[in-house]
Structure 1
Amino acid sequence: MPSKEVVSPQTAHRIAQGEHDDLFSVLGPRRIGKKTVVVAFAPGAGSLSALVGGKAFDLAPLAEEPEIFSGEIPEGPYRLRSRSGGDAHTYDDPYRFGPVIGEVDEYLIGEGTHRRLWTALGAHVIEHEGTRGTHFAVWAPNARRVSVVGDFNSWDGRRHVMRRRGSTGVWEIFLPGVGEGAAYKYEIVGPDGLLPLKADPVGFGSQHPPETASIVRDISGYGWKDAKWMEERRGRNARTAPISVYEVHLGSWRRRHEEGGRMLSYKEAAEDLVDYVDEMGFTHIEFLPLSEHPFDGSWGYQPVGLYAPTIRHGPPHEFRDLVEAAHKRGIGVLLDWVPGHFPSDVHGLARFDGTALYEHADPREGFHQDWNTLIYNYGRVEVSNYLISNALYWLEEYHVDGLRVDAVASMLYRDYSRKEGEWVPNIHGGRENLEAISMLQRMNTTVYGEVGGIMTVAEESTSFPGVSRPVDTGGLGFGYKWNMGWMNDTLNYIQREPVYRKHHHHQMTFGLHYAFSENFILPISHDEVVHGKGSMLDRMPGNDWERFANLRAYYGFMWGHPGKKLLFMGCEFAQPGEWQQSGEVPWEIAERPAHKGIQRYVRDLNTLYRATPALHVKDCDADGFQWIEANDAENSVYAWIRRGGPQDQPAVVICNFTPVERRDWLCGLPSPGRWREAINSDAEIYGGGNRGNMGGIIARQEESHGQPASARVTLPPLSTIILTYED
């Protein structure tokens, strides 16, 4: 049957020019009367035949468009064989395969309630209708045409035009023979013409930057062996648990200098990093964002591939190796997650289908002035679904134990970092971003409801109420919130010369006025050691001895204070300079005595914190804290009691933030009897002067500071001591 009787010259021309948006209506097998006719588009082929049951049936080229072939074949599965010169290539025709996405997926995607969106969209290596290949699906509702392009089709967008799925805006195609490791992008013709090639918004892998293609990754079939951890982690993430987080930028934690200074792989980190965190006594590792991102200098906070672990450290299954190694050692893994904004790189989400799809069209809503990034349109159900599903993806597919959500404050307020007239009020005329609030609530409700034992953490710097309170009581539903106010106040205090601290005494106590309004984590994060702020050691005043003593005293204050703990890498041994993302933590410095003393001190603080219920069980409850002395501004001394459960003995924390040793300082205590000095930041092993109460303290039944007992205590200069009850 001549080709022109099957394909009109006008249609053939549109196909050859890449203007046809529905090749499934033209190409592939078709029934014409009682005959089966195949129509195929084969650019570059000198001849084309269909193979059926071991026999070849020649297909005739269309005179006007000789790259389009058609011909009658027997009914049944077929393959195509093209010849060009002396070369022959046999392949399966993608246009003979039916759809993969089912009606339920279509309905949920259209409604914006597909919790596991990644199971329908993205690139999946599957067997379909008896043939192995990859199913591609992408959301681009305003596109006129969407094609998959890659090395497998010479990056020619005319060859594999996808099938539009009704009103969902989803396009899909199954490409036989394409498998693991294939690089691909989407060629999209938007309302105004051809766009730059786009990476897959739900791609599971990416090329090494600066290359920007997505990579087909088969993420199925990992043999997890962490069932015991998964059963137990609810207790490890609970408000009553000791939680001490080591924050890590994996690219600069440690490098392989013998190999040109390359970054650690996930598999290497599964040994080196996990060993170190275990040795240091931290309970969790928190990674700065590991989603794929184009620019190293963003530290991962401008992600393009939200569903792809960055290839900088290895493929997805090796990231799973890292998570499993941590779980084997009883260490939780948290990921920084960035749903607040995304970069405007042309291969990413920006104007993905030629319209403002993921972002707002109005820059007063859709452009972030501080970071030159775009803001998600949270009010669009498909966009909020994309983000909520991504949160669930990391927790389910990679067994991550929690997500720390970046820059929540920038999401909650429409006027965040904007002047009058530069923002659009909400429907009630207010500044709250109601759509973002709803998305965060739905995200927390979803992940806590679907995955057992996880945590979510908000980096939120305002006084927005109920961040870590349940959604059904009006809260945002997070498990924890970073206490940015505590961090700012206490760092402002500790960097002052001790002689002036008495005038700012209540900067250290103010946090207790709201310490139990949320479930707080006390963060000394990467943001505190960059952009000219100096390192933690740089902030400390005085001579070298005083600087180290100040830092030890501050860490003791932090570990004794209500709230979970977080410390950025390098801070645990008093790294002397700012963090540099292009280098590594200066491990040679950690071997120097003063720095090694700080490192051992942090390890011992973690050990004490974990072993002492009074120091962690009621981190988030007001009845676990009581002041002994909050007002001794003249001496810059603070003392308080920490309590755990009914059967737990209390602990007492005393801080002296002057360089003056105070002997026989009268301290009220909750019980008479023997109290042990569980830790003393002035101990010689930490680099101190070994002053204190090494033999313990005997408290007598003599009331002081509102307590029934008291004792005379030696307070070393610039120190924190923690006492635990023994009798």
Structure 2
Amino acid sequence: MKCVAQAGLYEARIPTGAPYKLRIGWADGWEEGADPYSFPPLLSHHDLHLFAEGKHRELAHMMGAQTMTIDGVAGVRFAVWAPNAKSVSVVGDFNLWNARRHPMRLRHDGGIWELFIPNVMSGSRYKYDITGPDGARLPLHADPFALASEIPPATASVVASPLDFEWHDEEWMARRSSFHAENAPLSIYECHVGSWRRPDKDGTRILTWDELKETLIPYVVDLGFTHIELMPIMAHPFDGSWGYQPLGLFAPMPRQGNPQQLASFIDACHQAGLGVILDWVPAHFPNDLHGMARFDGTCLFEHQDPREGLHPDWHTLIYNVGRNEVRGFLIASALMWLTQYHVDGLRVDAVASMLYRDYSRPHNGWLPNYYGGRENLESVEFLRELNHAVAEYAPTALMIAEESTAWPGVTRSVDSGGLGFTYKWNMGWMHDTLSYISRDPLWRRYHHDNILFGLHYAFSEKFVLPLSHDEVVHGKGSLLSRMPGEGGTRYAGLRAYLAFMWGHPGKKLLFMGAELAQWEEWDPHGELAWNMLDTPWGRGMHALVRDLNRLHRTEPTLHQRDTHSDGFAWIIGNDTENSVFAWLRYGDDGKPVLVVCNMTPVPRIDYRIGVPLPGWWAERLNTDADDYGGGGTGNAGGRSTEQIVSHGYEQSCVLYLPPLSVLYLQHEGGAG
């Protein structure tokens, strides 16, 4: 070969179609291998067409770094979307991070640069060296489509082999539709795996997926939860964001292990009868220089106008979901987790911020939609398309919206004009009831409506009742610390609040630590207060959560009609003086459960409550029981009815209501 340019350009003539290799001399030796440019472009025109339309659902296999063998030569095909770049080179361990070695080819019809590089192996680190449309060379960018990444603070993408895992969850997957049916029990343990437990109490270490298989799964199963929800495990550059500012929507966070180990963890969950839900963030992304911000020198993934593209609360960038390629990028990410990793559902973060153009913005800080309104029509269409795609590719998966406003039809089907989510977090219920339970019991009588109001709209959507991580951070304190009173009164208050929640219509979500009666608020850099299990208060709260979940799963009355108004009936909602509430839960078997709440530290003796059926009402749960750390008072197993009219019923029971307690009683027949 002859050098034809001082910059290091060489040239040689080769007969058409003749196979050849390159032998390159370096200062420390010789390198021999196939020429990357002897291989033709590999992406099909059909792939490029679907990508440009935002309809390619398997971008995890099309884009990024894909290991493959071409004409008997093993290597990696790199593909990245940068339509406005003047040039793109892939740099990494395999070429000494030299941008002159592997400039990529532009496929004009898709704005995608691609190149197959022989002899690159899984585990190699890489980035993209991009020159913007103005000729300026940009900071090296990680791959938005990468399947793996370095452990922060390192920022390179990592070549990963396709997930090749032998699943053993056939029975779970075959039955998942019944587990996720509207009339099935759904009780979710929300978990930040990094701070759940620290190995040997070493704050610098976290449990791996293999270790979590042996510890976390049996713990959650023993507590009786049906699902575990993992706070975002997608690759993110800053641990302090807890995963809610991700830059690797196709890559699992490497701290806990590799993709195979993550798949093994999910497989073990399924074999133990436990579903897995992931938090997923399509609302915004951080502006790190190595990430997606101004990726090709232009606002590619984000909006250009900060009134649309900058999130004022989190100082992050907002995806331009009105652009086909961005919409397809996000939907393909969601489908990858649901299909390749067998994930059972996604909790979609910050949906409210997506639906409104003026969310958290001053009156002059946002742009109206085409019709002059505040609704974000592009986001609405994106969410509908997302949920339609999930229904097609993972029809039994759950899609849960964190949506804090009164947007109508969040859980209505797309075909009926809704957004198409399976469930919606009931943020209003959470804020109202936490406000009520945090007040001194002396003043609760004046805030009765905080409990009643949620039932006015409880069946307008399909709701999950969340007590999430957001309620135990940023100085809010733990759930226990928000209970008024001293000593055992606080524990009694939290026991009553949890039993109130489990008896209320709606599916359940509890953030880790509450089951231990943890005093301190959640510390993402520490671990849960496991020492509480050495105290009667902690053991009692743990036992109560286990029994609540057991009843929730085994007693159909407590879950079958969670989303239907005919599964609920008030008995007492107006006793403001005593702060007592009572209602009935109905299932399909005609054996109602009576839930009675005494929200004061004063016992209510000989409290008469009307009931619809005569006979024996068995006490199925009492939060004041000795086993829960309570005072051990109650109704000696139940009460028989008397032929005395009360609350509109022809018969009634006289009950003892322990202080700060909740009772569940179920009709078991017999004469009154």
Same fold at TM > 0.5: yes
What is the aligned partner in structure 2 of residue 114 from structure 1? 56
Q: Which amino acid aligns with 1:182?
A: S
SS at match of 2:510: strand
Displacement of 1:107 in angstroms is 1.0
**Which structure 2 residues correspond to residues 455-494 of structure 1 after superposition, within 5 A?**
455-494=398-437
What is the aligned partner in structure 1 of residue 275 from structure 2? 332
- Identity percentage over the alignment? 54
Q: Which runs of 5+ in 2 are unaligned?
A: none
**Cα displacement string for residues 564-589 of structure 1 (whole angstroms, at most 9, x for unaligned residues):** 00000001111101111111112112
What is the aligned partner in structure 1 of residue 518 from structure 2? 575
What is the aligned partner in structure 2 of residue 495 from structure 1? 438
**Which structure 2 residues correspond to residues 217-616 of structure 1 after superposition, within 5 A?**
217-257=160-200, 261-616=204-559
Distance 1:440 1:540, change over 3 A: same
Displacement of 1:431 in angstroms is 0.3
Displacement of 1:662 in angstroms is 1.1
Displacement of 1:709 in angstroms is 2.7
Q: Which amino acid aligns with 2:89?
A: S
What is the aligned partner in structure 1 of residue 73 from structure 2? 131
Displacement of 1:85 in angstroms is 4.8
What is the aligned partner in structure 1 of residue 130 from structure 2? 188
**Cα displacement string for residues 669-707 of structure 1 (whole angstroms, at most 9, x for unaligned residues):** 121111111110000110111111123211234432123
Equivalent position to 1:95, from 37, 46, 63: 37
SS at match of 2:600: coil
**Cα displacement string for residues 319-373 of structure 1 (whole angstroms, at most 9, x for unaligned residues):** 1111111101111100011000000001111000000011111000000111010
Q: Distance in 2 between matches of 1:455 and 1:124?
A: 29
Q: Which amino acid aligns with 2:412?
A: R
Q: Distance in 1 between matches of 2:661 and 2:163?
A: 53
Displacement of 1:66 in angstroms is 5.0
Displacement of 1:72 in angstroms is 4.0
Q: Distance in 2 between matches of 1:175 and 1:407?
A: 40
Q: Which amino acid aligns with 1:553?
A: A
Larger mean Cα displacement after TM superposition, 623-632 or 117-126: 117-126
SS at match of 1:322: helix
Larger mean Cα displacement after TM superposition, 427-436 or 233-242: 233-242
Larger mean Cα displacement after TM superposition, 540-549 or 78-87: 78-87
Q: Distance in 1 between matches of 2:317 and 2:502?
A: 38
Q: Distance in 2 between matches of 1:542 and 1:86?
A: 75
Distance 1:106 1:86, change over 3 A: closer
Displacement of 1:648 in angstroms is 4.6
What TM-score, normalized to structure 1? 0.90
Larger mean Cα displacement after TM superposition, 526-535 or 691-700: 691-700
**Cα displacement string for residues 226-281 of structure 1 (whole angstroms, at most 9, x for unaligned residues):** 11111111111221111110000111111113666401111111221101100100
**Which structure 2 residues correspond to residues 133-172 of structure 1 after superposition, within 5 A?**
133-172=75-114
What TM-score, normalized to structure 2? 0.98
Question: Quick check: 1:444–1:477 contact (8 Å CA) kept in 2?
Answer: yes
SS at match of 2:448: helix
Distance 1:533 1:95, change over 3 A: same
Q: Distance in 2 between matches of 1:114 and 1:66?
A: 39
Distance 1:512 1:85, change over 3 A: closer
What is the aligned partner in structure 2 of residue 178 from structure 1? 120
Q: Distance in 2 between matches of 1:65 and 1:471?
A: 58
Superposition CA RMSD, Å? 1.4
Q: Which runs of 5+ in 1 are unaligned?
A: 1-58
Displacement of 1:65 in angstroms is 5.1
What is the aligned partner in structure 1 of residue 606 from structure 2? 664
Distance 1:471 1:320, change over 3 A: same
**Cα displacement string for residues 537-587 of structure 1 (whole angstroms, at most 9, x for unaligned residues):** 110001111100011011110000000000000011111011111111121
What is the aligned partner in structure 2 of residue 695 from structure 1? 637
Q: Distance in 2 between matches of 1:386 and 1:375?
A: 14
Distance 1:162 1:85, change over 3 A: closer
Equivalent position to 1:631, from 566, 574, 588: 574
Q: Distance in 2 between matches of 1:669 and 1:573?
A: 35
Displacement of 1:125 in angstroms is 0.9
SS at match of 1:136: strand
Distance 1:63 1:681, change over 3 A: closer
What is the aligned partner in structure 2 of residue 4 from structure 1? none
Larger mean Cα displacement after TM superposition, 535-544 or 70-79: 70-79
Question: Quick check: 1:60–1:71 contact (8 Å CA) kept in 2?
Answer: no
Displacement of 1:71 in angstroms is 4.3
Q: Distance in 2 between matches of 1:490 and 1:75?
A: 75
Q: Which amino acid aligns with 2:294?
A: R
What is the aligned partner in structure 2 of residue 681 from structure 1? 623
Q: Which amino acid aligns with 1:616?
A: H
Question: Quick check: 1:112–1:382 contact (8 Å CA) kept in 2?
Answer: yes
What is the aligned partner in structure 2 of residue 213 from structure 1? 156
Q: Distance in 1 between matches of 2:650 and 2:140?
A: 74
Distance 1:621 1:438, change over 3 A: same
SS at match of 2:116: strand
Q: Distance in 2 between matches of 1:489 and 1:99?
A: 59
Q: Which amino acid aligns with 1:481?
A: K
Question: Quick check: 1:219–1:316 contact (8 Å CA) kept in 2?
Answer: no
Distance 1:66 1:408, change over 3 A: closer
Q: Distance in 2 between matches of 1:147 and 1:557?
A: 59
SS at match of 1:486: helix
What is the aligned partner in structure 2 of residue 16 from structure 1? none
Q: Distance in 1 between matches of 2:532 and 2:175?
A: 37
Q: Distance in 2 between matches of 1:413 and 1:198?
A: 31
Question: Quick check: 2:164–2:260 contact (8 Å CA) kept in 1?
Answer: no
SS at match of 1:509: helix
Q: Which has the higher contact order (CA 8 A, sep 6+)?
A: 2
Question: Quick check: 2:188–2:510 contact (8 Å CA) kept in 1?
Answer: yes
Structure possessing the higher radius of gyration over alpha carbons: 1
Displacement of 1:315 in angstroms is 0.8
Q: Which amino acid aligns with 1:623?
A: D
Q: Distance in 2 between matches of 1:625 and 1:469?
A: 21
Question: Quick check: 1:61–1:70 contact (8 Å CA) kept in 2?
Answer: no
Displacement of 1:143 in angstroms is 0.7
Q: Distance in 2 between matches of 1:414 and 1:665?
A: 52
Q: Distance in 1 between matches of 2:6 and 2:444?
A: 88
Q: Which amino acid aligns with 1:717?
A: P
SS at match of 2:353: helix
